[in-house]
Amino acid sequence: MRSRYGPRRRLRSAADFDAVFKRGVRLPGRLFLLVVAQNRVRVDRLGLAASRRIGGAVERNRARRLLRESFRRLPASAGAGFDLVVVAHKDLVACSQAEVDREFRERLRRVSRAPGPSGAPAASAR
């Protein structure tokens, strides 16, 4: 289990987000949209997007906390290194951590089955 979500594990620049959106595999779901792309740094990195459509600052922060914790709980991708961008939906705020974890695992299971553009994960991400 991962214990920290440090700066090395975050997508921080707009260029990083744009790269994932451009070459990643999109996996829509009820609670969030997950976009996954393989990276060159061999470390799984997470980027979060929670717009005002979700609600006020309290709701957006809750959505981000739930998603960060789900990412932290997942096993590492065995050195493959993936960039994940998660775009939260309004329904996420009302869910428990267990529900978010379940959907996160389901989305990542679909990565291995999803055909993607060059550079996108074709093998199992987790």
Residue 83 lies in a domain: yes
Residue 79 confidence (pLDDT) above 70 = no
Phi, psi for residue 4 in degrees, rounded to 5:
-130, 155
Which residue range(s) make up the domain with 57? 7-111
- CATH for 37: 3.30.230.10
Q: Which of 36, 116, 125, 112 has its CA nearest to residue 75? A: 125
Torsion of the alpha carbons at 16, 122, 107 and 46, rounded to the nearest 10: -20
Pairing assessment for the beta strands 82-88 and 32-38 based on DSSP bridges: antiparallel
| pTM exceeds 0.85 for this model | no
Sign of CA dihedral 52, 19, 7, 77: positive
pLDDT band at residue 34 using 50, 70 and 90 as cut-offs: very high
Say what the pLDDT of residue 32 is: 96
pLDDT band at residue 43 using 50, 70 and 90 as cut-offs: confident
Residue 41 lies in a domain: yes
DSSP assignment letter at 7: G
Task: Specify the number of domains making up the chain.
Answer: 1
Residue 121 lies in a domain: no
